[in-house]
Structure 1
Amino acid sequence: MAGKFLVSLTNAKNDPDKATVGFVVANAAVASGQETVIFLNVEGAYLASKGYADDIHEVGFAPLKQLMDQFVEAGGILWVCSPCYKKRELDEENLVEGATIVGGAKLVEFLSQGAASITY
């Protein structure tokens, strides 16, 4: 039986190492059969905008855009914090493929189902 796993990603270009490692861990989780959600919030919300992650590439890791695409293609779920996205005046028409804007209630529902959680 697959478990549930959540990566809360609060960083983007402000800390590309954490943003990258968050997706590396999420990819490992989804590859191991976990129902895996990445919750892009605070600065991480920027990653939900098309083109934003294209130039993020930490030494020793695959480019972030590639990790993001792999996550979605593998069946990972990409949620974006609604108030975080709006606060940064980002365009909802410009979301990366696979991203869904959600409110806190959706996150609480997933966590209350026993999901393990880690934050980067």
Structure 2
Amino acid sequence: MADRFMVSITHADDDGDKATVGFVVANAAVASGSETLVFLSTNGVYLAEKGRAETIHEEGFAPLKDLMDQFVEEGGKIYVCSPCFKKRHLDETALVEGATIVGGAKLVEFMKPGASSITY
């Protein structure tokens, strides 16, 4: 099995706690040397929009924007569900650094060799 880890995040400011904890875990995975991917789907796609993460800071945690920046700086990838993004009429030109809009096939490609995963 490949040393891969995928964190699926389905929330943004509708549940900042889940969004934040998702990136805490993603940072732990990438720091451990695992090839790590965060998959943003449903309401989680709002985190791919510049400026959105700046509004989320859960007590006891680093600000979400800092966690996201750290994740990308350490080599983590952020995939954004294309249909979820389009459904919410978000601006593809205003993505955060490290985010890529993808279809389901790209996620399957990452997971197929084997990957552990968790969802928030």
Task: Name structure 1 gaps, 5 residues minimum.
Answer: none
Q: Give the TM-score of the pair, scaled to structure 2.
A: 0.97
Match of 1:13 in 2: 13
Matches within 5 A, 1:25-104: 25-104=25-104
CA distance in 1, matches of 2:34, 2:91: 30
SS in 2 for 1:92: coil
The alignment yields a C-alpha RMSD, in angstroms, of: 1.1
Distance of aligned partners of 1:66 and 1:20 in 2 relative to their CA distance in 1, 3 Å threshold: same
Contact 1:5 1:115 in 2 (8 A): yes
Cα-to-partner distance string for 1:80-119 (whole Å, 9 max, x where unaligned): 0000000000000000011100000011111111011100
Match of 2:111 in 1: 111
Query: How many residues align structurally?
Result: 120
Contact 1:2 1:33 in 2 (8 A): no
Q: Give the TM-score of the pair, scaled to structure 1.
A: 0.97
Determine what percentage of the aligned residue pairs are the same residue.
Answer: 73
Task: Name structure 2 gaps, 5 residues minimum.
Answer: none
Contact 1:48 1:80 in 2 (8 A): yes
Q: Which has a greater percent of helix? A: 1
